[in-house]
Amino acid sequence: MPIAPPGDPFPAMDGHLQRVITTVDRQFGDGVGASVFPPDKPIVMNKVSSLDAMYEVVVDGHILGRLRFEIAKQQYSFVLSLEGGRRISMFSRQKWVSCSDDVIPFLRDGANLLVPGIVGCDSEIEVGDEVMLIDSMGKVIAVGTARMSGEAMALENRGFAVKIRGFGDPTDPCTNPLTASWTDVVEANEHDLQQIEQEAIEFIKKVTYDRDLPVVVGFSGGKDSLVTYLLVEKALGTSPPLFFMDTGLELPETVEYVHEFARARGADIIGESAGDQFWQSVKVFGPPARDFRWCCKVLKLGPAATAISKKMEGATLSFMGQRRLESFQRSIEPRVTSNPWVPGQISANPIQRWNALEVWLYIFREKAPFNPLYAKGYHRMGCYLCPSSPLAEFQQLETTHPQLYERWRSVLLDWAERYGFPSEWADLGFWRWKHLPKGQQALAKQLGLDLRVDRTTSSQEFRMDIVKGISPCTASGFSIEGQFTMGIDINRAKQLLPIFGKARFSEELGALRISAGDTSILVFSSGSVVIRGSNKKSVEYYTSPLERALRRALFCQACGSCIPQCKQGALFIADDGRIAVDPSLCINCLECNDWPCPTYLS
């Protein structure tokens, strides 16, 4: 059936279904939702592109409407399809507009409904309501959005009454009298499930044979990693370790589920715990954003690199639950890949081509225990304050875990005050972008909010401005002078700047001098910098690397991603919790200065 692209449908579980029913009841009357969406039929939802959360709701092979989260109202609405209007009209006496048979030909040709064509209507209709148009026989012929209130429709002689979305001939609803369970659905699709299972198992066996590395399964506590684990078990005949990074931002139910699953399987959990690292890092980087994902690097990828280095001898084959339908980025990634942030890890994706409905049917078929948060209406597992989440999920977090929600909201409100933004910046989810996209800019304008398009934090504001260009000097060759936008903690700088060469610290002058071959670098606590060398090229060469190295030194969040990449073993986390170099081991290759680092993100 023609669901909206990319087409990643999933079963509506209790929490999802209850959200639909509650919304329909609010719009069309108590009891209507349960009648239209009964528990004895498999109901499917499909995510639709929108400004926030929106899902098609499918019953009997028909889309009955779209459940859409309204950002301004902070609640869901149910946007009717024609079939949805027909079914709801069987149980509701609300939100109806009766039109004259004379105007039906014009509606069929795409016209909207004007006041002269109205015979009668529900007086409780408000502007913006979803309404059903009925003909003289009481049959639903169209659905749309009210542009006038019911009272205005009854009193006015002219005006634009209803914006028509869908029109059709007056017929009865296409209700299927048969009922079914999800067990019936699994049995009906058994042949297809066997095919995709076999293909995934063969893929796992081949990749394992080709790579000959220790195997783990990336396990987030979500449905995709669960199915991946079940497939790897079948393919290899053993229960491999779970590779689980506890970011400190997982919901407690997820952490409990992961550990219970491991115990039941007799499997080890390999990984690192970030503890409260996020709450420390957010003070430096500010709220993470969809276009500023420092959180993943600090809380997941860096610790993953550390775990592989310490616990798996530096190399592993990780089977992951990534699927191409989840995002555009994942749709273009190869099935076997590596990540520069996690050296030593080869990632393979057995279910890359599966859709969410196939994932869930496989779980149902295997009778595998899954994360209980899905039944509560959550759509994804992971960090509960992920900026990629729709605003609707933060509203849900407020309901299910109010203390976690309030802790994060208080941080957002502090940043809003720092930026000079109104509280709506935090409450309406504008914080989820560092640079507001056009849709969010339009929403802010619509709501009358004064928000800057871009926001910055101290780590991004840190830069070196060249005070003078390259200056020839008869005594020492060439020199360049610069000034950083803030003062420099020289004690911190001296922990890392020896990657350039021998460093000497003068406490009296508040300065650090580094000898890099025939080039000298002077860094002062005031933020001033002087680079001198025998030739112009060497002086220019060190400006950008110096800025990067100082950024790493001052804003390091101890993710550890750079440590296992140093072939000399010269990098380590110092007593102050940030990166440092052992000068006795460092060979001044500067390779570490080019590796991925969260402090470089912009």
Query: Which 3 state secondary structure label does DSSP give 522?
Result: strand
What digits encode the pLDDT tens for the residues 10-43?
999 999 999 999 999 999 999 999 999 999 999 9
CATH 3.30.310.10 assigned to 462-600: yes
**What class does CATH assign to 10-167?**
mainly beta
The band of 125, judged by pLDDT with boundaries at 50, 70 and 90, is very high
Q: Write the burial class of residue 195 (CB in 10 Å: 0-12 exposed, 13-18 middle, 19+ buried).
A: exposed
pLDDT at 14: 94
What digits encode the pLDDT tens for the residues 127-141?
999 999 999 999 999
Close Cβ partners of 476 (under 8 Å, ≥ 6 residues apart): 532, 534
pLDDT at 366: 98
Share of the chain above pLDDT 90, in %: 79
On the question of pLDDT at 330 being above 90, the answer is: no
d(C-alpha 283, C-alpha 414), whole Å: 10
What digits encode the pLDDT tens for the residues 68-105?
999 999 999 999 999 999 999 999 999 999 999 999 99
Residue indicated by tokens 């610069």: 482
What digits encode the pLDDT tens for the residues 549-566?
999 999 999 888 888 889
- Topology of domain 182-366, per CATH? Rossmann fold (3.40.50)
The band of 538, judged by pLDDT with boundaries at 50, 70 and 90, is confident
pLDDT at 456: 77
| Contact predicate 388/328, CB 8 Å | no
pLDDT at 328: 64
On the question of pLDDT at 459 being above 80, the answer is: no
Smallest CA-to-CA distance from 250 within 282, 278, 208, 214 is with: 278
d(C-alpha 21, C-alpha 32), whole Å: 8
| Contact predicate 40/403, CB 8 Å | no
d(C-alpha 461, C-alpha 491), whole Å: 21
In order, the DSSP letters of 423-476 are: THHHHTTGGG-SB--HHHHHHHHHTT----SB---HHHH--EEEEEEEEEETTT
When mean pLDDT is compared across 335-344, 421-430, 493-502, the lowest value belongs to: 335-344
pLDDT at 475: 59
pLDDT at 477: 79
Tell if the pTM clears 0.85, that is, is over it. yes
Cβ atoms within 10 Å of 281's Cβ, excluding its own: 24
Domain-wise residue ranges, the chain: 10-167, 182-366, 391-454, 462-600
